[in-house]
Structures are given as C-alpha cells and as structure tokens.
C-alpha cells in the first residue's frame, strides 16, 4: 500500500468515527479519489506556511480532516478545499446518487465534484474565479474524472445549460438562496447551502412544497420555500448578490480590536463545556431568537455574542454557559444573554436540525435572494 493510500484509509476511519460518513459508496469514493491531485499547487498551513507536493508533511496535511486554504488575496483566504467530514455530511444530506444531475456552486479544488462523480452523479460546477475554475478542471482531468465539468460563471445565475438539476450543492457562504437555483431544480429537488446566520454559515437544507394557503382567484398555485438546519459550519463568504444583506439580518461579525475589555458577569452553568457541535447548536438557537446575535473573537477563538449598537460592547456567551460583557449597557446585555442561554437549556438544548424557517425574497431587488424570515422549533 502506498503512503497516499494508507493515509486515505486512515482518513476514512476518521470520517466514519466522526459520524459524517455512513454510506459504503461514499466511503469507497473517499478511499480512492486522490485528494493530493486537487492540491497540486499546495495549500497554506498555519504552522508551516505554503506546503507543496514533495514537501515534508504535505501528504499528511492533505489527508487531515481539515479545510485547506488554497488561495489568498491580500492575506485573506478566498478559496479552499472544504473539511472532508463536512463534504461527507453535505453529500449524504443531499442524497447524491448515480444518475443524478448536480449543480455545484463554488468549484474549490474540484475534489468535492470528484467525490460526487465517483458516486455516479453528473456534476456541473460553477466558479466566478477563472483561475480557480481552470485549476479545478485541470485536476479533474488529471484524476481521470469524467462525470464532472467546471465552468466560469456567476454562481447566482446557476448554469441553465445543464438544467434541470436533481440537487444543488453550495460550497461558499451565502446570505440567501438564488431564485435561479430553484428555477433550475426539478420538482422535489433539494439544495444544501451554508447560509449566513448570526455571524456563522450553518449548513441548511432547502426544499419547496405546495403552500398551505389557497391561492387568490386568478393567481397560479403558490409554492412555499423552506429551510431546515443541518449542522454548524464556517465557509468563505460569497460576494455580489449572494452576499447581499436584508433589513432583518444579523449584524456582521466584529474584530477583536473593536471590542472593549470583557469581564465575567455570570459564571459557568455547566461543569463540562459544550463541544464544538453543541456550542454551534446553542449559537444557532440564540440567533434564531435574537437578531443582535453575531460572532466575535474572544477567549482564544470566535464565539456567540449579543452586539450592542456601538459594535464595541455587548455580551459574549462561552461554551460552559458563562457570560462575559462590556460596554455602557453590559449588565442589560449580560442579562438578556443569560435568559436566552437558559431558554435553550430549558428546551432540552435543541440541535440545529430542530429548526425550520420559511424563506422570503430579500437582498438586492434587482437580483433578489430567498432568505429565512422567522425560525421556529419543530
């Protein structure tokens, strides 16, 4: 067994253990599709800088269960290969199967498209960055993948030439769902997309169903568009229409430099801090109930905060349920945050998958997007 094959097998074991990988056919795809081919120009490591093929640690890094940054612009990540466990979860959530036509928004390295093609799907991947699209297409050819094509284009518009699609996979953080994707989707089709929520990009499952309300006389039957939570996640944000704001959106995340000094106001609620997934469940719930919720860096990472109107203060919620606060109205914000945390705990700590929202048109009127209006537990 080659080094790469052994590392792929070890990655599969990790993905099965973490729960994102359950299907046998997808297991075979992860065990056989060479991720290193899709990282031919290397990736950026926080510890070692740019790692290229042949460098010490390159292959080991390729087969970690990590997102790998592949392109920087002014020091900011603008393209990457997503975390394999998240790829597995999203592919399984979509129910990708042989014979399906898949529209992928955001080509990345092409690895995700290769995995779906290995399942027998026909994949059309669209990316707005010409160099990213070209490298992904080259990697797919090098890997011998015949079931996927990469096109340069505005992801907001989808890709009519390949429509209709059975599924839409979105691999870039968006603030809403393009009407073009819905128009290019078969009846009963599904979309999986990371949609902005409270300073995060949790993955949502989007579908349509006949409206419960009776249409007005003379008007065609209505269709309701719904979203349900899948899991917490972080993605690079899209620009243009797919990154548009709307009046009831949460505030943008804040930088550490903008924050006043935080002080503990309420001590830990739980002896064991929530793990990453459960903390994202809490964060999602807080955001569903309070539009002041966003993300901010503190305590060595990025977490959930209620942001005040100055964007320099408010309350931060830690994984153990403790509350930190700062600013002129620190006490009020800390109290509000504590009430929200207790509400979530009293309801049994519901996961992201328990939330559902109807989508309505918002964003730029010239290029609208469907965005969640009100979240409720189901």
Catalytic residues: 82
* Alpha-carbon distances, residue 111 vs 40, 176, 185, 359 (angstroms): 12, 24, 23, 30
Q: Which residue has the tokens 């769902």?
A: 177
- For residue 365, with 0-12 CB atoms within 10 Å meaning exposed, 13-18 middle and 19 or more buried, which class applies? exposed
Spatial neighbors of 21 by CB under 8 A, at least 6 apart, are 12, 15, 27, 30, 85, 88, 92
Backbone angles phi, psi at 287, to 5 degrees: -65, -35
Q: Residue 184 in contact with residue 178, Cβ under 8 Å?
A: no
Cα distance between residue 252 and residue 147, in whole Å: 38
Cα distance between residue 349 and residue 343, in whole Å: 9
Q: Residue 165 in contact with residue 182, Cβ under 8 Å?
A: no
Q: Residue 120 in contact with residue 99, Cβ under 8 Å?
A: yes
Other C-beta atoms closer than 10 Å to the C-beta of 347 total 11
**Pairing of the two strands 165-170 and 314-317:** unpaired
Q: What is the DSSP string of 350-371?
A: --GGGEEEEEEEEEETTEEEEE
Cα distance between residue 257 and residue 272, in whole Å: 29
Q: Which residues on neighbouring strands pair with residue 50, listed in sequence order? A: 44
And the tokens for 291?
A: 């539009």
Q: Which residues on neighbouring strands pair with residue 224, listed in sequence order? A: 209
Instruction: Check residue 305 and report its DSSP letter.
Output: E
> Which DSSP helix (H) or strand (E) runs through 329?
none
């Amino acid at each position: 067994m080659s080094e790469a094959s052994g590392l792929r097998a070890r990655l599969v074991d990790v993905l099965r253990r973490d729960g994102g990988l359950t299907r046998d056919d997808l297991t075979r795809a992860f065990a056989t599709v060479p991720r290193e081919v899709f990282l031919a120009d290397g990736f950026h490591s926080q510890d070692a800088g740019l790692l290229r093929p042949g460098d010490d640690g390159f292959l080991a890094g390729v087969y970690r269960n990590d997102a790998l940054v592949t392109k920087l612009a002014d020091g900011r990540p603008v393209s990457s290969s997503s975390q394999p466990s998240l790829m597995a979860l999203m592919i399984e959530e979509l129910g990708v199967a042989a014979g399906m036509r898949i529209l992928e928004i955001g080509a990345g390295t092409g690895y995700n498209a290769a995995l779906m093609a290995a399942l027998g799907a026909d994949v059309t991947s669209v990316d707005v960055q010409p160099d990213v699209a070209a490298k992904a297409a080259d990697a797919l050819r090098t890997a011998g993948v015949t079931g996927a094509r990469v096109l340069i284009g505005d992801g907001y518009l989808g890709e009519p030439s390949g429509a209709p699609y059975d599924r839409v996979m979105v691999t870039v953080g968006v603030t809403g769902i393009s009407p073009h994707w819905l128009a290019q989707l078969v009846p009963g089709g599904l979309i999986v997309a990371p949609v902005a929520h409270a300073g995060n990009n949790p993955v949502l499952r989007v579908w349509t169903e006949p409206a419960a309300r009776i249409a007005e006389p003379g008007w065609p039957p209505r269709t309701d568009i719904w979203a349900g939570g899948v899991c917490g996640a972080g993605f690079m944000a899209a620009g243009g229409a797919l990154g548009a704001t709307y009046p009831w959106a949460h505030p943008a995340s804040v930088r550490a430099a903008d924050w006043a000094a935080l002080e503990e106001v309420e001590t830990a609620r739980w002896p064991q801090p929530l793990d990453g997934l459960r903390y994202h469940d809490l964060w999602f719930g807080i955001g569903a109930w309070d539009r002041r919720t966003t993300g901010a860096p503190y305590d060595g990472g990025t977490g959930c905060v209620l942001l005040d109107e100055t964007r320099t203060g408010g309350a931060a919620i830690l994984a153990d349920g403790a509350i930190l606060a700062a600013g002129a109205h620190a006490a009020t914000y800390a109290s509000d945050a504590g009430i929200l945390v207790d509400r979530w705990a009293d309801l049994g700590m519901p996961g992201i998958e328990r939330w559902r929202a109807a989508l309505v048109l918002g964003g730029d009127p010239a290029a609208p997007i469907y965005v969640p209006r009100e979240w409720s537990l189901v």
